[in-house]
Amino acid sequence: MKMKVAFITDGDTIGVICPSQFEGNKRLRLVGIDCPERKSVEGQIARDYTYSLCPPNQEIKVVLVTGDRHWGRLVGAVYIEEGIYVNELIVSAGWARAVPEFQIQTPQWERIVKAEEWAKRRKLGIWAEGANSRGSQYK
């Protein structure tokens, strides 16, 4: 389903302008990945990276997988330009980790796992030496 980006909340949550059946704008949680919280340095960088991929007013293709009852968000996979998988790009750049609890719901889960392995091997982003890749920066 096609949507437009309204804003970026943090590295793994995008505000989207939805088709009429969703009654206005919603927050969209990127399925299968988890970025550091935005109050951390890594979280701010993750947010900026997501913004660089999905700036406001950009059209995106969203594959919805489920709703987030607790937070009232949509949950899904995001694609830009010719099928480029945003969830995977954020992980491969080292600004998110794969979340195995959601592997059944995540389209192309194997790509997310390979992207994380690639970023870890290259010590990118949260996997870099000295980065606070564990603990309080995640929910």
Q: Look up residue 76 and give its amino acid.
A: G
Beta bridge partners of 76: 30, 64
Average pLDDT, the chain: 89
Angle at 126 between CA 102 and CA 135, to 5 degrees: 70
21-74 confidence digits (pLDDT tens): 667 788 999 999 999 999 999 999 999 999 999 999 999 999 988 766 567 788
Tokens encoding 57: 């007013």
Residue 136 has pLDDT above 60, yes or no: no
> Residue 74: how many CB atoms within 10 A of its CB?
21
